[in-house]
Structure 1
Amino acid sequence: MKRWTKLMVGAAAIALATAGCAGSGGTDSSNEQKAGQPRTLTVWLMNGSAPATLTDALNKEFEQKHDGVTVKYEVQEWNGIQDKLTTALASQNPPDVIELGNTQAPAFASEGVLTDLSKDVDKLNGGQWLASLKASGEWDGKQYSTPFYAANRMVIYRTDMFQQAGVTPPTSRAEWLAAIGKLKAKFGKDKQFQPLYLPGQNWYALLSFIYDEGGDIAEKSGNDFTATVDSDQAKAGLEFYKQLVDASGTTAPKDNDEQNPEQAGIYGQGKVAMMIALPWEVDTAAKNNAAIKEKTSAFPIPSRNAGETAPVFQGGSNLAVPVNSKNADLAKAYLALILSEKYQSQFAEAGMVPGASTDLSALDANPVSKAMADASKNGKSVPATPKWATIEAGQNPLKDMLTAYLTGAKDIDTATADANKALDAAFSG
């Protein structure tokens, strides 16, 4: 489920603009086929998105409810999916239901290759949708994709180290910094120990601190975005990031992110008390150290306001109906079923934040997934612009800003001003 952090909308998407795509309404195949005539609904979901037990039951129920319909369920790989979707959506015979990374959705919507679902929101359990994923599916005032599922970061920690240092999970930034100090006092004689492993370019974590200060990456006007990382609020978030780095004395590189080197592997070595991470990184850490899983729990990223959790970047997947689908009516019915409480609750049982359900009780069974669920109630998305995925996959100005400030190459005013200029250029490019 890491995949949405690596998705990009590259030059291949440009081909959509010249592919002779249809408008935004979708095709009602009931006008083309006689009642009862065999029909095939093609569904593309991504590898790892839904347990086989769920999709098997879902597809069986759908076929039973729709006489003569066969669901052609095809699991796709994230690697290469951008080009595959670009080609499929530009054709006259695309799949009928597709899964998109939430950073992909605005680009495809803006190209006119997705069906407008605005009038169907209520039928698709819209009252239960995650606000962050709903926003990523909107374009030009219309809804082109629905939430599917999501995940967000939290602070994963060693319960045994916390206990030995007399530390309890912090509920404010001040308590978090104090906990770092206590952990250093207890284990600091070990030169390999780190109370918090925090790479210099974990911009997902930075977003929480910026959001918590009341700031954001950009502000929206119509379909346009203007960067705001040079605001006082964004600077305050960046300053707190540096406070954490300095207080922890982390040896993580300041010029790379949490995947280089893989932070879960560092945590798994047993010398790190905390990391800001996604829930499945615990399993990654346990690959070479199975015992660490039993010693691990999590808490939401604390807010500067005591007793509150900081807002979090929420990544995930959306569902959409290609505009050239020959079975738009069936596709919408399929979305209604998969977004129903019956199946959304099963996503929670599988450890994901369901995109169309407010019942997260199934996530309470595991302390790590519970922390994710608690934080998810305050989730936000990156700017819903077709440009964002390219920004994220390319020379991300937020990463450059972090490295420049943390290394002292630039002061905070210069670092944020340069990042703001780079983001504005990307938004309008």
Structure 2
Amino acid sequence: MRRRLLALVCVSASLLTGCGLMPQGGGGARRTVTVWLMKDSASPAFLRRFTEDFERTHTDLDLDVRIQEWTGIGPKVQAALKSEAGKAGEEDLPDVIEVGNTQVPQYVDRGGLLDLTLESMRDWGSDDWLPGLAEPGRQRGTQYGIPWYAANRVVIYRKDLFAEAGITKPPRTRDAWLDATEKLDSGGNQGIYLAGQDWYTLSGFIWDEGGDLAREDDGAWKGTLDTPAALRGMDFYRRLQALGDGPADADEEHPPQAGVFAGGKVAQIIAVPGLVRAVLETNPDLEGKLGFFPVPGPTADKPGAVFTGGSDLVVPQNTDDRAGAVAVVGALTGARWDSDLARTMDYVPNKAELARAVSGEEGVAAMAAGAAQGRATPSTPEWAVVEADNPIKTYMTEVLAGTDPETAAGRASRRITEQLQIPLA
């Protein structure tokens, strides 16, 4: 994803560099496994704990963890996957790479990733992975990306404004959510601040109705915003968005919704829990007044669908130590260390059954509940073309401005279909 939902926390960048994290073990025939992880995905303390334990329990392996920047990572990973000379630029070739979950199809399309289907089915419990992480890592029945951690949107709300409106508990269904939001949209307050082009949030409403942004048919992808199910999702978005003053022609970053929420006149926003930090920095008076609940679904038995961002771990085909790479992936994504990472970084673990690890944090617990219903963008490498010049945003603005939804959806769907036929450069 262009914008990382994963920016939930900020950790110091001064403790990790491109050098190995821990001194390599000496003596014997120890082998070094080089791991590329992304900046701020794991804290220095977590990486120290993991490295020390891994090297203690794998007496033939040393870890060389190298921290990468998200900016420009795509071409760097591609160069590493294509390299045959044992070097990727000035760095040793990685044996394990962290990639964004929605980036996996692009790397699979260009070749160079190791098939990890056997390990995922036999040892790693692939049936229990969060679908929003697992599905992008799977192409044509083959598992290349192994889910590591996730993050997704929840509803962040003002507990005091809910109480003043007589709302004693968060809504659990869409209808109850609309009713509560209408009550909150009074007395100079906005019931919800929802920007008109927040297409990630719209995606969840569409999925809840059984629709999709695009679907594959006989090997060809086409836009599907004009299906009845997708139109129902857009209609719910329109009704909810009308209970506030969010701009119809901008997304949630223009202006940043954290600043709007901090202004004190908004009852709810839809965002990752970590956004609260920015809100409180702007308005410390809101300390203790903010709560979280999962985006409600059509019925009370489960939360609504949400877009799931996160990271998968992949192994390049050109690794010279498959066994070592698989050992690292298995350890990092296993229950012990995946739970540790989730607690440390306020992430969602890669399996719903591990959500108990974050049950003590209200925001993360709400996020984990929603992640069980999470999805990702269409699993095709050409989806990056759609996001680069996004017709979904234009469609949303048109509908909110009064254009006939079917007409606007048909136009956007045709544009998405055209974009999905454009090969990535």
| TM tier relative to shorter chain | 0.7 to 0.9
**TM-superposed deviation, 1:70:** 2.1
Q: Is the 8 A contact 1:340 1:356 kept in 2?
A: no
Q: Percent identity?
A: 38
| Equivalent residue in structure 1 for 2:283, among 280, 285, 289 | 289
Task: Find the aligned partners of 1:131 and 1:244 in 2 and give their Cα distance.
Answer: 26
* Cα 1:254/1:149, change in 2 over 3 Å: same
Say which SS state the counterpart of residue 211 (structure 2) adopts.
coil
Say which SS state the counterpart of residue 110 (structure 1) adopts.
helix
Do residues 417 (structure 1) and 410 (structure 2) align?
Answer: yes
- Name the residue aligned to 1:18: none
Do residues 54 (structure 1) and 46 (structure 2) align?
Answer: yes
- Name the residue aligned to 2:195: 199
* Cα 1:76/1:270, change in 2 over 3 Å: same
Task: Find the aligned partners of 1:343 and 1:327 in 2 and give their Cα distance.
Answer: 22
- Name the residue aligned to 1:155: 155
1:377-416 superposed matches below 5 A: 377-392=372-387, 394-408=388-402, 410-416=403-409
**Deviation string for 1:52-98 (max 9, x for gaps)?**
22221211222223334321111111112122212222212321110
Task: Find the aligned partners of 1:75 and 1:222 in 2 and give their Cα distance.
Answer: 40
**TM-superposed deviation, 1:177:** 1.6
Q: Is the 8 A contact 1:88 1:95 kept in 2?
A: yes
Q: Is the 8 A contact 2:6 2:310 kept in 1?
A: no
TM-score by length of 2: 0.87
Do residues 90 (structure 1) and 49 (structure 2) align?
Answer: no
- Name the residue aligned to 1:372: 367
Do residues 302 (structure 1) and 301 (structure 2) align?
Answer: no
Q: Is the 8 A contact 1:345 1:357 kept in 2?
A: no
- Name the residue aligned to 1:113: 112
Do residues 212 (structure 1) and 172 (structure 2) align?
Answer: no
Say which SS state the counterpart of residue 225 (structure 1) adopts.
strand
Task: Find the aligned partners of 2:281 and 2:353 in 1 and give their Cα distance.
Answer: 32
Amino acid at match of 1:114: L
**TM-superposed deviation, 1:214:** 1.5
Q: Is the 8 A contact 2:6 2:309 kept in 1?
A: no
The number of aligned residues is 393
- Name the residue aligned to 2:170: 169
Task: Find the aligned partners of 2:297 and 2:351 in 1 and give their Cα distance.
Answer: 26
Say which SS state the counterpart of residue 316 (structure 1) adopts.
strand
**Deviation string for 1:284-328 (max 9, x for gaps)?**
211122232411111111122245421111111110001111222
Which runs of 5 or more structure 1 residues have no equivalent in the other structure?
8-34
**TM-superposed deviation, 1:273:** 0.6
- Name the residue aligned to 2:185: 184
* Cα 1:238/1:60, change in 2 over 3 Å: same
Task: Find the aligned partners of 2:190 and 2:368 in 1 and give their Cα distance.
Answer: 27
Amino acid at match of 2:106: A
Say which SS state the counterpart of residue 59 (structure 1) adopts.
helix
Q: Is the 8 A contact 2:385 2:420 kept in 1?
A: no
Amino acid at match of 1:207: S
| Equivalent residue in structure 1 for 2:55, among 55, 63, 73 | 63
* RMSD after superposition: 2.1
**TM-superposed deviation, 1:210:** 0.8
**Deviation string for 1:136-163 (max 9, x for gaps)?**
1011221111101111111110001101
Q: Is the 8 A contact 2:33 2:95 kept in 1?
A: yes
| Most deviating of 379-388 and 79-88 | 79-88
| Most deviating of 77-86 and 416-425 | 77-86
Higher relative contact order (CA 8 A, sep 6+): 1
Task: Find the aligned partners of 1:378 and 1:110 in 2 and give their Cα distance.
Answer: 27
Say which SS state the counterpart of residue 389 (structure 1) adopts.
helix
* Cα 1:227/1:242, change in 2 over 3 Å: same
| Most deviating of 152-161 and 80-89 | 80-89
**Deviation string for 1:339-376 (max 9, x for gaps)?**
11110111231321112462211322122112111111
**Deviation string for 1:234-265 (max 9, x for gaps)?**
0111111111122x131x22111111111112
**Deviation string for 1:160-199 (max 9, x for gaps)?**
11011111311222211211222123xx2x3xx3110000
- Name the residue aligned to 2:309: 315
Amino acid at match of 1:299: F
- Name the residue aligned to 2:139: 139
| Equivalent residue in structure 2 for 1:253, among 239, 247, 270 | 247
Report runs of 4+ in structure 1 exceeding 3 Å deviation.
Answer: 1-7, 221-224
Task: Find the aligned partners of 2:95 and 2:270 in 1 and give their Cα distance.
Answer: 37
Say which SS state the counterpart of residue 382 (structure 1) adopts.
coil
| Equivalent residue in structure 1 for 2:35, among 43, 64, 73 | 43
Task: Find the aligned partners of 2:45 and 2:3 in 1 and give their Cα distance.
Answer: 22
**Deviation string for 1:208-235 (max 9, x for gaps)?**
1111112111223465423211100101
Q: Is the 8 A contact 1:269 1:289 kept in 2?
A: yes
Amino acid at match of 1:115: L
